[in-house]
Amino acid sequence: VKKKTTKTTPRIDLYYWPGIQGRGEFVRLALEEAGAPYRDVARTPGGMKAMMATLEGKDARGLRPFAPPFVKTGGLVIAQTSLVLHALAPRLGLVPEDEASRLAALQIQLTIADLAMEAHDVHHPISGGLYYEDQKTEAKRASRSFTKERIPKFLGWLESLLERNRASKHQYLVGRSLTYVDLSAFEIMSGLEYAFPRAMKRIEKKLPLLVALRDRVAARPRIAAYLASPRRLPWSTDDLLRHYPELDEA
């Protein structure tokens, strides 16, 4: 895939909660891999105020986003993580141009987004508006089927896509070279390994191609530089995926 990022590419302003990786990280990884001219607005002085103004509908231009992450670029306001990636990827050189490939990538990204949501709902099974401490019993129950059935089903599906592509000597999820969904697969693995280290150790034994893809993504020069930079925040129990030892497998 040819990189199209040039001096004439309009700047991309990313808006996301400043203290966590969260869903914003899927977009950050794509921007970093492409070397795109972008600003992480809410991490700049006055940026949070600007983000809240847009969320509250005080920005007359574009559709009012329901929730972060969203981007502003070339007069557009785009929210919904998967849609943001679908819209930006062609100009970032992170998806092939044909419709079948773009739809395949979007389908995979939406499925990774489902997995991210289920992973979040393990620590907040009753409501995102309540503290974890107030839903611990339900979280414990949710974590059992999540680690036993759901993670293996989602990641096993990604592994099966890599197996099929390997038959045509390709080592990425879509087509013959890296796309944004490979970066997203890396990110969800990173979050799951942080949140459920024991379960993931067991599950990953059956995912050799996905583990190899994760390592290949982490070793890409721009991604490696990003991961080593202060822009990459460490995982924490404020994030979308959280490590509570009692929710991991015994």
Ligand X SMILES: N[C@@H](CCC(=O)N[C@@H](CS)C(=O)NCC(=O)O)C(=O)O
| Minimum separation from the CB atom of position 81 to ligand X (A) | 4
Structural contact between residues 95 and 174, judged by C-beta atoms closer than 8 angstroms: yes
* Residues found near ligand X in the complex (CB under 6 A): 22-23, 67-69, 80-81, 113, 240
Q: Which is nearer to ligand X, 22 or 96 (CB)?
A: 22
| Minimum separation from the CB atom of position 240 to ligand X (A) | 6
Q: Cβ atoms within 10 A of the Cβ of 156, count?
A: 13
Residues 6+ apart with CB under 8 A from 164: none
| Minimum separation from the CB atom of position 129 to ligand X (A) | 9
Q: Which is nearer to ligand X, 23 or 242 (CB)?
A: 23
Structural contact between residues 27 and 184, judged by C-beta atoms closer than 8 angstroms: no
Q: What is the DSSP string of 61-109?
A: SSPPPSSS-EEEETTEEEESHHHHHHHHHHHHT-S-SSHHHHHHHHHHH
Q: Which is nearer to ligand X, 68 or 93 (CB)?
A: 68
| Minimum separation from the CB atom of position 79 to ligand X (A) | 6
Q: Which is nearer to ligand X, 55 or 211 (CB)?
A: 55
